[in-house]
Amino acid sequence: GQQVQQSPPASLVLQEGENAELQCTYSTTLNSMQWFYQRPGGRLVSLLYSPSWAEQRGGRLTSSAASNESRSSLHISSSQITDSGTYLCAYASSSFSKLVFGQGTSLSVVP
Amino acid sequence: EAAVTQSPRSKVAVTGGKVTLSCHQTNNHDYMYWYRQDTGHGLRLIHYSYVADSTEKGDIPDGYKASRPSQENFSLILELASLSQTAVYFCASRGVYAEQFFGPGTRLTVL
């Protein structure tokens, strides 16, 4: 079935100020994709949404993907302690925009 | 941004009991979704709907029913709650460009 693999696969620890790159690989050609942020027990907050061919920017966040690749990336620049949480990617692959989610990457930013 | 609310925010149910989770959105989105989140499984689609009075099965519909009485409201019904249905449940709605917006989640514990 459709699968989404995230890397780093489980967790990532950064020192404050470092940059991070999170990646998602998909089992099929990219349609549209969406990145989410979630605090423990919290709601999923949409960070960036883009069709497969578009780079999206939002503050210190940039997502990129290629229409001919089954991969997308989320770049976090100048990480802050408040960036700590879980980052999930998801792609839409059907006419009703079903989202298929990755397992998530837990990011911890330490002083 | 779409406003999606859920009630209750948490619930404890007994095995074999009936549970109804409610979702309400205020932005006239056609599509609404129910997902569950479990540790180790990410988010999985249970049911979705693209129009009032119609629902569709997602990836894991067994043990769940859904109801869409109006464009704004979408309910998830567990007729006979089981231990395996302990999870966090998220409702989402879909915007014009397939971007999905999530509610705050309902933490369900079945004892």
**DSSP secondary-structure letter at A8?**
S
- Is the model's pLDDT at B16 over the cut of 60? yes
Q: How many Å separate Cα B67 from the centre of its chain?
A: 10
Counted across chains A and B, CB pairs separated by less than 8 A come out at 58
Q: Chain A closest CA to B95's CA: distance in Å?
A: 10
pLDDT of residue A18: 95
Instruction: Report how far residue B29's alpha carbon sits from residue B35's, in angstroms, rounded to the nearest whole number.
Output: 17
Tell me what the pLDDT averaged over chain A comes to. Answer: 83
- What's the pLDDT tens digit per position in B40-76? 668 999 999 999 999 999 999 999 999 999 999 999 9
| A46: Cβ contacts below 8 Å, ≥ 6 apart | A34, A35, A36, B1, B99, B100, B101, B102
Of B56, B88, B97, the CB nearest to A49: B97
The pLDDT, as a whole number, for residue A96 is 57
Mean pLDDT of A16-33: 84
Tokens 């990617």 found at: A89
Beta-strand ranges (E) seen in B1-111 are: 4-7, 10-13, 19-25, 32-38, 42-51, 54-57, 65-67, 73-78, 87-94, 100-102, 106-110
DSSP designation for A91: E
Which residues of chain B lie closer than 8 angstroms to A88, CB-CB? 42-43
**pLDDT over threshold 70, residue A1:** no
**Who contacts A32 (Cβ-Cβ below 8 Å, separation ≥6)?**
A49, A50, A51, A52, A91, A92, A97, B97, B98
pLDDT of residue B2: 52
Predicted local confidence at residue B71, as pLDDT: 96
**Mean pLDDT along residues A16-34:** 84
- By Cβ distance, the residue of A43, A44, A96 closest to B50 is A96
Distance CA B86, CA B105 (A): 13
Model pLDDT for residues A43-90, shown as the tens digit of each residue: 899 888 876 556 666 788 888 776 666 788 899 999 999 999 999 998
Contact (CB<8Å) A90/B107: no
- Segment B27-39 shows an average pLDDT of 92
